[in-house]
Amino acid sequence: MKIMGLLFILVLLASSTNFIAYSQTIVETLPGFPGPLPFKLETGYIGVGEDEAVQLFYYFVESEGNPEEDPLIIWLAGGPGCGTLRAFFFEIGPMQIQYGNYMDNVPALQLDPNSWSKVANVIYLDAPTITGYSYTKTPEAVRSSDTASASQTAEFIRKFVKTHPKFLKNPMYVTGISYSGIVIPIITEELYKGNDEGLEPIVNIQGYMGGNPLTNKTGDINSRLEYAYRMALISEELYESTKKDCNGDYAEADSNNLQCMLDINEVNKRVGDINIQQILDPDCDAVTNLVRGGNPVTKENRRLLRGNPVNLRPAQSMLTDTFCRGDNYNYATLWANDENVMKALNVREGTVDEWLLCNLDMKYNYGKPSMPLYEFNVQNSVVYHEKLSKRNCRALIFSGDHDMMVPHVGTRNWINSLNLTITDSNWDAWYVNGQDAGYKTTYARDNYTLVFATVKGAGHTAPEFKPKECFEMVKRWFAYRPI
């Protein structure tokens, strides 16, 4: 949808409809799933920002274990501007899509055995502003930024626990993936700070978690070169010459440095056909640019979806077919845009013209200071990790070791910059079902602890590639056990 058309609709809605600041619905059945849901699902809106003009939509799944004591977590998708249904269906949520099967004229759903809701109360939030089913009541509130998004999400959390007082005592964690790595530590610090200032209600914030988290934008981009060399995608000679000629800075390389530009061009020739999000997957997107590559979003062919839904997923047995993981997301788009689905979720009528996997007017691309609906005004969120390292706080940072988008190399670099003390594990293996699931390092400073773990074989959104391993990891971490 064009922006001006969107703004017109927002003005129309604001002038013709009276909205309440908070609403909730208990969803007992969903199109595509047979019978009543075997878990408690709540959806709703909470207004944030000036005059609560931003109406944030959420899905809340109560813990299937011990909801009175299990942690309360909020999960933030990346993008920015990607709907949290991706997490709900493909990463950590209670349901999966049965590819190729249909029920109630939508993709059929089944339960996910590795749902994080088995050990936690999970809020899936559509943020910021025009993301997923969220919307704004005024045109002025549409545009967001890193700092505005973080502030509004912190406001959302405090309002959520106020309207759900039975969770006030549950340990609270701010969690998410990919681009949300920029805002997660900001939100967490804001919650701690708000508690210090006596904001009501007091949130029982205990820490945070980031999966494949973009953190130091320049550093994370720069680490792609070392990662490509470590994974044998470029030669040692090319790696060393590029590092020397570019003075170790590729993200901000001087365009007048001809030799550096030539080296980077040679690197891009080698990795152009590599899937930057999972280097072992087929490359189904645009040519990979190691330096300027931002946050690619798989294109969706909605016309094809509606015209020929039976053939959505290519046959795996045909050797001539290439499996494109992004094709799976089209099922979520088809499901989320169904009128009966929106009614079941109690999406406010007229607020969303079309549900999109990601709002491309917010999508991050390195080197751009802003997009039409979003300003990238935090270049590096490490300073917030430094602030949190002085608090009574726990952190879990994990990376898929086949992710070249935000490589574990760069993540470990900024963690090391915190000057924490390595405690009982230093790149030790951790196991699931007796098999090596990755490697972990544990850090501490006073009352602050941080666990950094790689997930073997996982890509940019680690739980999507290794759901069992990631579930076991967080299950142990929530329980204060070594992962």
Q: What is the DSSP string of 87-132?
A: IIIIISSSEEEEEEEEETTEEEEEE-TT-GGGTSEEEEEE-SSSST
Q: Are 180 and 210 a contacting pair, CB within 8 Å?
A: yes
pLDDT at position 8 is: 32
> In whole angstroms, what is the distance from residue 108 CA to residue 341 CA?
12
> In whole angstroms, what is the distance from residue 143 CA to residue 147 CA?
12
**If pLDDT is split at 50, 70 and 90, which confidence band does 367 have?**
confident
> In whole angstroms, what is the distance from residue 131 CA to residue 267 CA?
35
pLDDT at position 140 is: 93
pLDDT of 279 higher than 80: yes
The pTM score is 0.90
**If pLDDT is split at 50, 70 and 90, which confidence band does 20 have?**
very low
Q: Which of 60-64, 138-142, 290-294 comes out lowest in average pLDDT?
A: 290-294
> In whole angstroms, what is the distance from residue 78 CA to residue 182 CA?
10
pLDDT at position 288 is: 78
pLDDT at position 298 is: 41
* Average pLDDT over every residue of 204-233: 97
Task: Classify 76 as helix, strand or coil.
Answer: strand
* Average pLDDT over every residue of 97-116: 95
pLDDT at position 292 is: 61
Q: Are 329 and 300 a contacting pair, CB within 8 Å?
A: yes
Tell me the β-bridge partners of 73.
122, 173
CA angle 40, 43, 49 (to 5 degrees): 140
- Please identify every residue annotated as catalytic: 178, 403, 460
Q: Are 151 and 177 a contacting pair, CB within 8 Å?
A: no
**If pLDDT is split at 50, 70 and 90, which confidence band does 341 have?**
very high
35 contacts: CB under 8 Å, gap ≥ 6:
29
9 sits in which H/E element? helix 3-16
pLDDT of 61 higher than 80: yes
% pLDDT > 90, the chain:
83
**If pLDDT is split at 50, 70 and 90, which confidence band does 327 have?**
confident
Q: β-pairing, 448-455 with 435-445?
A: antiparallel
452 sits in which H/E element? strand 448-455
Q: Which of 43-57, 146-160, 365-379 comes out lowest in average pLDDT?
A: 365-379
pLDDT of 423 higher than 90: yes
pLDDT of 21 higher than 80: no
pLDDT of 9 higher than 50: no
pLDDT of 320 higher than 80: no
**If pLDDT is split at 50, 70 and 90, which confidence band does 192 have?**
very high
**If pLDDT is split at 50, 70 and 90, which confidence band does 310 have?**
very low
pLDDT at position 3 is: 36
> In whole angstroms, what is the distance from residue 323 CA to residue 283 CA?
9
- Burial class from Cβ neighbours inside 10 Å (0-12, 13-18, 19+) for residue 130 reads buried
**If pLDDT is split at 50, 70 and 90, which confidence band does 284 have?**
confident
